[in-house]
């Protein structure tokens, strides 16, 4: 699903303007709603209601993909032409589950590598944030604490000052 979205977005000649962070932070919570709906459907033995519309489930069974899944996939890919990784950012229940696992890991004091920005070298050009596929505010702090970071390392490539933003120490 991520690959398909990347391919669709790569068709663009110019990157779309990112949506403001205050809206982004609200929209990323939608995927927790999708996860809760999934759990409720599973408890009541109605998971087929979700799988009939899930584009990822449909893709894994391509020859017999349900019409609902196909329609949602088409909508996601059309939307994905205007907004990078639409599904991963806002709707994927598995991403929600992984984010919760990261939050739990942090609560248990499990350390992991995070994207680090050297504040002394940074010239605040914002190129890293503007190119982040998950629309994260990299300039908000020294380390990217947001669990939505997928460690694609694009920010490290786009930074005009090599070595300023990098995959930092385990902390």
Q: Which residues bind ligand SF4 (CB under 6 A)?
A: 115, 117, 122-128, 132-134, 136, 138-139, 144, 149-155, 159, 161, 164-165
Residue 109 region, left (φ>0) first, then alpha (ψ -120 to 50), else beta? left
Nearest distance from residue 46's CB to ligand SF4, in Å? 34
Nearest to 147 by CA among 31, 35, 57: 31
Residue nearer to ligand SF4 on the CB measure, 30 or 122 = 122
Nearest distance from residue 145's CB to ligand SF4, in Å? 10
Residue nearer to ligand SF4 on the CB measure, 42 or 126 = 126
Residue nearer to ligand SF4 on the CB measure, 38 or 135 = 135
């Amino acid at each position: 699903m991520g690959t398909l979205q990347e391919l669709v977005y790569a068709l663009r000649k110019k990157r779309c303007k990112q949506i403001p962070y205050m809206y982004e932070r609200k929209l990323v919570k939608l995927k927790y709603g999708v996860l809760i709906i999934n759990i409720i459907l599973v408890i009541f033995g109605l998971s087929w209601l979700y799988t009939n519309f899930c584009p990822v489930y449909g893709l894994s069974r391509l020859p017999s993909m349900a019409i609902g899944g196909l329609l949602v996939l088409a909508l996601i890919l059309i939307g994905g032409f205007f907004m990078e990784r639409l599904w991963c950012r806002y709707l994927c229940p598995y991403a929600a589950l992984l984010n919760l696992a990261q939050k739990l890991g942090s609560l248990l004091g499990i350390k992991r590598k995070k994207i680090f920005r050297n504040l002394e070298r940074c010239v605040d050009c914002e190129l890293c944030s503007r190119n982040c596929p998950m629309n994260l505010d990299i300039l908000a702090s020294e380390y990217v604490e947001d669990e939505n970071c997928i460690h694609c390392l694009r920010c490290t490539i786009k930074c005009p000052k090599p070595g300023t933003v990098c995959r930092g120490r385990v902390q």
